[in-house]
Structure 1
Amino acid sequence: MDEAIWKHVVLNAKKYGKPNEKAVIGKVLAENPELRKNAKEVLERIRQVIAEFESLSDAEKEELFSRYAEEKKEVRRDYQLPPLPNAENGKVVMRFAPNPNGPPTLGSARGIIVNSEYARMYDGKFILRFDDTDPRTKRPLLEAYDWYLEDCEWLDARPDEVVYASKRIGMYYDYAVRLIEMGHAYVCRCSREEFKQYKDSGVACPHRERSAEENLEDWERMLNGEYAEGEAVLRIKTDMAHKDPAVRDWVAFRIIFSDHPLVGDKYVVYPTLDFESAIEDHVLGVTHILRGKDLADSERRQRYIYEYFGWEYPVVRHWGRIKIHEFGKLSTSEIRKKIEEGVYSGWDDPALPTIRAFRRRGFEPRAIRKFFLSLGVGENDVSVSLKNLYAENRKIVDEIAERYFFVWNPVRIEIEGLDSFAEVELPLHPSRDAGVRKLKGERAVYITRDDFENFKGKEVRLKGFCNIRIGEDGKASYAGDEVETARKGRSIIHWLPESQALKCEVLTPEGKVEGLVEENVRSAVNRVVQFERYAFCRVEEAGEEVRAIYTHP
């Protein structure tokens, strides 16, 4: 354990300057899942090691950096992304730029994972930039800023830099003034309908050729709140005869009288995404952009700004959309609305495609990384099922998840003729030494209604306990203890003693499943277990009653 802790403390310090205990424990437990049951002790030891590391001299730290450098290089990646064009090692800068109007979804996870992986491949820089300059239509959610940071950390994609566009609006104003002074931007006071007519016919609007002085005057009026919403916008001059009308003199700034969750009512003029993003990509030194092929218009619009300032546009790689069958086209705005309507219990409802929901369900971040990296970055749209993600996660959790009995839709039976009572020991895992759990072999037990109905008139074995026969009348009788394999055809089912059965509800994407679970599960809170013959689930609460969250089959 100590060796694993020292390794990850040193590697984390090498990358970020100061080791982060949360990042280190995540790495240690991922590599050594057997330590999860002693997480508190592990965390305490990590804190001790960090303190020891910080007390070392620079020379001693460098020695440790060298010691673990080779081991870091030997980490095998399960999927290798295709190389980036014109990429130089140590100089690649990637960015993921969400609008935080809700927490990250699986779609966001793809952008986070692939951009961070490319930065890692080239020993470059990964930037998380919040494109949050729309305070109304896609209004940011204050909590979502932290959710993105937490989920990036969880997905092993900790950003090297975090940028908040809403806090840098003054910088965008400076670039706007420069463009006006250069004659490449102007204040347009046409109504939306009027300008559409000019745009569609390829004719310049009456304000296009006004002097820089006149435009600067109007710009100041916009900033001072002297114009109403929609009464004036700042446009970038492009080509009014461009074959794509969406490129013709596009809007760079508009007036929005709405407070912003992060900066309050400090501004009334906000940049559009195309303008803000264009400026930030240059200022931040972004070298490569992964962009949906449906956003090609953005590049065509932004290139005008780069041309006016004499900047080099980043290398762009377009990729196709990924559609996950089980979720369809559920947008963040739609989810937010349905949460407010009570359709979903919150952003971590198991039915949702948010990373918060998948974390609550007990998914391993490694599985989500492998899932998206395996899909690559091609231009073709991809349509996949969650079954692919389930398969990746199952490879990980099947090796570590303890086994317990959960009886859904329970039926109580009394085993007639069972005179002796015995304690039954069952393994916590079928293929590794994880210890045992104990159940009371008693007369009153629960089995599922499905088993009760399916085995009427037949003999069946209660796993690890005894054989019973369920009569056509529904009464159960003891049928011996022998477990010899010669008696082929006998089915084995799970069960629960009445004295050790706790009420349990499992929250699934389709709704609640109610039943009973063995009391031994109390030791597995906050862990993924396998309810035998049912599914993998994460035990969320276990007191007098148990609540578990469905992970996958």
Structure 2
Amino acid sequence: MALDPEDLLTIEKYTLQNAVKYEAIPQEKAVLGKIMGILPHLRTRVPEVTEAIKEISGNLSKTTPEEWQQKLSEIAPELLEEISVKKEPEKGLKALPNAEKGKVVMRFAPNPNGPPTIGSSRGMIVNSEYVKMYDGKFILRFDDTDPDQKRPMLEAYDWYVDDFKWLGVVPDQIVKASDRFDKYYEIAEELIEKDHAYVCFCDGETFKSLKDKKQACPHRDTPPEDNMAYWKKMLAGDYEEREAVLRIKTDISHKDPALRDWGAFRILKKDHPRPEIGNKYIVWPLLDFEGAIEDHLLETTHIIRGKDLQDSGKRQKYIYDYLGWTYPITLHWGRVKIEEFGKLSTSGIRRDIEAGIYTGWDDPRLPTVQAIRRRGIQPEALKKFMIEMGVGETDVSVSMNNLYAENRKVVDPIAHRMFFVADPVEIKIDGYDGGIAEAPLYPNQPEMRKIETGNVVVITSEDASNLAVGSKTRLKDLGNVEITSLSPLSAKYIDNSMDTAKAEKMKIIHWAPVDGLKVTVLGPDGNFAGIGERNIADELDKVVQFERFGFCRIDSVDGENVVAYFAHK
């Protein structure tokens, strides 16, 4: 049984309201929850309601946010008013606790085993914005002391610097942890001398068993002078991997097993990718130790880290207490899940690139900053998106549509409009001798672009499939035509009057000259091939709006061939 027309209208109204409110195609679940509250009698018909939302959203994807707003004002002006008067939740960055102007020092500390991702850009942006707020010091620190599981990529160091530059950020200092081994060793020896660290010879399974029982490792009470001798033998290469570990003494009976005598250094006989490091070291600091020392050396005042790393701070505070240091003020935030990408790891992406599944780190299907840059996402859009998310411990699930909405605000006023026809079908126009069509570079603006064409043009196969003999349509900015044949597709020219088009209620479709440029659009959901107007060749490295298709960045122009990257609708 079909849904009642009144119910369908209500579903359409609230789907439209959601689209207008968030400037993005609605998430079905968000609209479904609203509908179920308003129309409880439909709770037994969830699949049908979901299908209706899908169909309405599909139609919305073919139109613009301006058209959504116009439609909502026509069928439910009260819902449009509700959006405009509803108080917006507090967004943005709150004040840092105990922060003094000119004295804030913050760092962003990636492992350079791949390029920055959209998720990691949150740390890049928020830390640098806080430092800007307080006229402080911003440090880019590479935590690159794991040449095994998270082996650094030499290119990644420059990738981070380049992406920061794109965001308009120049770090005050750049530090590579792999340059600071001598300092780490010096502090490790101070801890050994003060009996706060010891060399453990237990294998991993044995130590875990003891730790879980709150029992001390048999080497825990070794005198400092003996531990120092063992430590020197570690440095000299007298032990094999996993044979000896330097541990920090904590509370072996602590209620949290993760805080009991944690490892600070392990033996790893692997070279480092940086040639100046190479195989210079075999005793490597673990991240909690390295990070703790670096934050002290760099005089970090505030740290923002994931709430899943709260134990790291607790472990590191033992060192600070032992050495009389003051631990930085620490804020925690929840995970950010980007709905469209699911679980993609840097190491997994790297394997897939090597296997040829992706073309590179800037493949449009990937959640890297390189990829969204190539697609035409603007730095101010990404910054606003991340800043408005703020700093909170609640896990956040966001859609790329939210980022696209921010980017649309940036590019819409400046992107030239162009015709691109995907999956093109030729149509001959009898009674039209060809000429130059004039179309606006921007809507409702006087600046025009000229499109030279003959009497054969191309339209999309979708538009062609909706034509019938005798039907009339307007080829945007070219003229009004009446279809005379479907096979081959042809039409007769009427005139170029908008009054005629309005009087006949003609559907307006876009087109391109049959001898236009060959355009390939690469996007996260697939690739499109078609024909575009020749003005596209003048838009290299710029974001344009292919009318009725979406915003794209023109990536390359090679003679008659153009490659564009799809940004969003």
- State the TM bucket, normalised to the shorter chain: 0.7 to 0.9
1:408 is matched by which residue type in structure 2?
A
Match of 1:202 in 2: 214
Distance 1:79 1:196 in 2: 44
Tell me by how many angstroms 1:292 deviates: 0.7
Tell me by how many angstroms 1:307 deviates: 0.6
Instruction: Determine which of 461, 473, 477 is the counterpart of 1:464.
Output: 477
Match of 1:427 in 2: 440
Aligned 8 A contact 2:376 2:567 in 1: yes
Match of 1:483 in 2: 498
Tell me by how many angstroms 1:426 deviates: 1.3
Distance 1:486 1:152 in 2: 50
**2:306 equivalent to 1:292:** yes
Distance 1:114 1:440 in 2: 48
Tell me by how many angstroms 1:470 deviates: 2.6
Tell me by how many angstroms 1:298 deviates: 0.3
Which secondary structure does the structure 2 equivalent of 1:476 belong to? strand
- 1:51-90 equivalences under 5 Å are 80-90=92-102
Instruction: Determine which of 167, 181, 185 is the counterpart of 1:155.
Output: 167
Once superposed, which parts of structure 1, at least 4 consecutive aligned residues long, lie more than 4 Å away? none
Match of 2:531 in 1: 516
Distance 2:456 2:107 in 1: 61
**2:280 equivalent to 1:266:** yes
Match of 1:495 in 2: 511
2:147 is matched by which residue type in structure 1?
P
Match of 1:111 in 2: 123
Distance 1:431 1:398 in 2: 13
Distance 1:549 1:456 in 2: 34
Match of 1:401 in 2: 415
Match of 1:137 in 2: 149
Aligned 8 A contact 2:91 2:389 in 1: no
Which secondary structure does the structure 2 equivalent of 1:377 belong to? coil
Residues 510/80 of structure 1: CA separation in 2 closer, same or farther (3 Å cut): closer
Distance 1:318 1:546 in 2: 45
Aligned 8 A contact 1:79 1:370 in 2: no
1:217 is matched by which residue type in structure 2?
A
Deviates more, 1:361-370 or 1:487-496: 487-496
**2:356 equivalent to 1:342:** yes
Tell me by how many angstroms 1:520 deviates: 1.3
Distance 1:413 1:293 in 2: 60
Distance 1:506 1:131 in 2: 38
2:251 is matched by which residue type in structure 1?
D
Which secondary structure does the structure 2 equivalent of 1:116 belong to? helix
Distance 1:203 1:421 in 2: 90
2:437 is matched by which residue type in structure 1?
V
Tell me by how many angstroms 1:151 deviates: 0.6
Tell me by how many angstroms 1:207 deviates: 0.7
Q: Per-residue CA shift, 1:182-205, capped at 9, x if unaligned?
A: 000001111111111111111111
- 1:86-97 equivalences under 5 Å are 86-97=98-109
Aligned 8 A contact 1:189 1:231 in 2: yes
1:545 is matched by which residue type in structure 2?
N
Which secondary structure does the structure 2 equivalent of 1:148 belong to? helix
Aligned 8 A contact 1:460 1:492 in 2: yes
- 1:317-466 equivalences under 5 Å are 317-418=331-432, 420-433=433-446, 435-457=447-469, 458-466=471-479
Which secondary structure does the structure 2 equivalent of 1:480 belong to? strand
Match of 1:237 in 2: 249
**2:546 equivalent to 1:534:** no
Aligned 8 A contact 2:113 2:153 in 1: yes
Match of 2:61 in 1: none
Which secondary structure does the structure 1 equivalent of 2:429 belong to? strand
Q: Per-residue CA shift, 1:318-364, capped at 9, x if unaligned?
A: 11111111111211111111111111100000111111111111111
Q: Per-residue CA shift, 1:501-525, capped at 9, x if unaligned?
A: 1111101012211111111111110
Residues 505/179 of structure 1: CA separation in 2 closer, same or farther (3 Å cut): same
Distance 1:193 1:167 in 2: 32
Distance 2:240 2:413 in 1: 62
Q: Per-residue CA shift, 1:460-513, capped at 9, x if unaligned?
A: 1111112122346343221411320541421111111223x1111101012211
Distance 2:353 2:480 in 1: 49
Distance 2:498 2:94 in 1: 55
Tell me by how many angstroms 1:417 deviates: 3.4
1:268 is matched by which residue type in structure 2?
I
Q: How many residues are matched? A: 473
Aligned 8 A contact 2:147 2:273 in 1: yes
1:524 is matched by which residue type in structure 2?
E
Distance 1:80 1:486 in 2: 46
Distance 1:214 1:203 in 2: 21
Distance 1:151 1:294 in 2: 26
Residues 345/127 of structure 1: CA separation in 2 closer, same or farther (3 Å cut): same
**2:557 equivalent to 1:545:** no
Which secondary structure does the structure 2 equivalent of 1:455 belong to? coil
Residues 448/486 of structure 1: CA separation in 2 closer, same or farther (3 Å cut): closer
Aligned 8 A contact 1:425 1:464 in 2: yes
Which secondary structure does the structure 2 equivalent of 1:113 belong to? helix
Distance 2:377 2:104 in 1: 30
Aligned 8 A contact 1:423 1:441 in 2: yes
Aligned 8 A contact 1:252 1:274 in 2: yes
Match of 2:318 in 1: 304
Q: Give identity over the alignment, percent.
A: 56
Aligned 8 A contact 1:504 1:515 in 2: yes
1:493 is matched by which residue type in structure 2?
I
Distance 1:422 1:236 in 2: 81
Distance 2:468 2:177 in 1: 67
Q: TM-score, normalised by structure 2?
A: 0.81
Distance 2:452 2:169 in 1: 47
Tell me by how many angstroms 1:432 deviates: 4.0
Aligned 8 A contact 1:199 1:245 in 2: yes
Tell me by how many angstroms 1:422 deviates: 2.4
Match of 2:260 in 1: 248
Q: Per-residue CA shift, 1:508-546, capped at 9, x if unaligned?
A: 012211111111111110111111110100001112201
Residues 462/243 of structure 1: CA separation in 2 closer, same or farther (3 Å cut): same
Structure 2 unaligned regions, length at least 5: 1-89
Which secondary structure does the structure 2 equivalent of 1:254 belong to? strand
Which secondary structure does the structure 2 equivalent of 1:300 belong to? helix
Distance 1:155 1:311 in 2: 34
Distance 1:323 1:151 in 2: 21
Distance 1:431 1:256 in 2: 66
Which secondary structure does the structure 2 equivalent of 1:440 belong to? strand
Instruction: Determine which of 292, 303, 309 is the counterpart of 1:278.
Output: 292
Match of 2:197 in 1: 185
Aligned 8 A contact 1:468 1:476 in 2: no
Q: Per-residue CA shift, 1:354-413, capped at 9, x if unaligned?
A: 111111111110000000001110111111111111010101101111111100000112
Distance 2:138 2:299 in 1: 11
